[in-house]
Chain A
């Protein structure tokens, strides 16, 4: 008994480690279970009669629903009894539109795409399949315009606080208070306390393994705030995407585009003479080569942030689609053995995705530091 108490006080004891390990495994399993039960409900009773095509279409819809941005924060859906409609549980988000004036209302007015909303004499409908808002007449028919022989749906300018925007804002607030608290804890003493205990090694890792080797001692200080922000922002959002809430912020090309543009602007705004020299007049090569290299280097300036954008977006989106599809496959089979096998596979991939969440944040920060290094480099002749 005494040894047990002593064990508890010592963090490195085997019992404590076992408890922590158990909790970690529990935390890993929960998302899979919640995800699976949340999206689909049970396949029993008359639901068994669904044909394969119907199931396939349903699964496709399910994956799309979880990877797309939406105008409401859906938590889960309760499948209605025969003849009744499914009820969606969640909370609505504000819709902000610009169409000859500002239109602001809550997304609950759409009733999940079933009703037309009238605001200041304009009518809007929500297409529940692609999650976008379109202009309509009072009967709910989407207004269309003919462009080059093709019909294009008319849509207002959409500045809504969607699910992605809400999560991004919440994450920014969380990061702000978390890291302000960490910074404050160093004012009382050098030993880290509280959250700083956990985050200090990661912050030091970014400084010593990413910033200093790539940018160089001294000039790395200028870039550290951005590197730390971008690393934790991407990592936390990736982790938020692993929860069963269906958040897919880093798998949205607009978000990664904004991050890549920031890297692009900082790289070029802080670039020294040496950086521009290497782009426009490469030193150390014959003059015909200098002329040949110039356009290639100029393209390279834009390709680098473009690749950053695509890499993060595609990795996270692909991860979500693969996970969603595998969970959907669990419900596709009727055989117990097949279901079990796919639950195992989903669990395994979930763990891989947790690793990818960290890896993608690391790679984004690493490559950003690499580009900053090229910009901050002094001539060495």
Chain B
């Protein structure tokens, strides 16, 4: 009984971490895509857009890593 509960808890943890990583991936993908569109519209603002993109991506990445560390 106790063993199976532990197994299920472990499985749920892993699934949760997977969901967070998927979310982070989608988020970073959207940031990248939007940055591409923005650069296409305003090529002269490329530098500013790139900087903002990297910061936002780094912040989201942190959440993904936090999820990985919660299960590791």
Task: Give chain A's interface residues, CB within 8 Å of chain B.
Answer: 209, 213, 307, 310-311, 314-315, 359, 362-363, 366-367, 370
Contact = CB atoms under 8 A, between A and B. Distances in A.
A181 B61 CA distance: 37
B47 interface: yes
B65 A366 contact: no
A209 B51 contact: yes
B47 A366 contact: no
Nearest to B68: A314
Interface string B31-72: 000000000000000010001001100110110011011000
5 contacts: A307-B66, A310-B65, A310-B69, A359-B54, A366-B51
Interface of B: 47, 51, 54-55, 58-59, 61-62, 65-66, 68-69
Overall SS of chain A's interface: helix
Contacts of A363: 54-55, 58
B47 A209 contact: yes
Contacts, number: 31
B62 A311 contact: yes
Contact of A311 (B47, B51, B58): B58
A138 to B, nearest CB: 37
Contacts of A209: 47, 51
- Pick the 10 closest A-B CB pairs, nearest first: A314-B65, A307-B62, A363-B58, A311-B62, A310-B65, A310-B62, A363-B54, A311-B58, A311-B61, A366-B55
Contacts of B55: 363, 366-367, 370
Overall SS of chain B's interface: helix
Nearest to B47: A209
Contacts of B66: 307, 310
Contacts of B65: 310-311, 314-315
A248 B65 CA distance: 18
Q: Which of B47, B55, B65, B69 has the most CB of A within 10 A?
A: B65
Q: Which of B47, B51, B62 has the most CB of A within 10 A?
A: B62
A159 B58 CA distance: 33
Given A366-B51, A370-B55, 16 more contacts: A213-B51, A307-B59, A307-B62, A310-B62, A310-B65, A311-B61, A311-B62, A311-B65, A314-B68, A314-B69, A315-B61, A363-B55, A363-B58, A366-B55, A366-B58, A367-B58
A367 B69 CA distance: 21
B68 A366 contact: no
B52 to A, nearest CB: 10
Nearest to B66: A310
A307 B62 CA distance: 6
A341 to B, nearest CB: 25
A367 B65 CA distance: 17
Contacts of B47: 209
A13 to B, nearest CB: 29
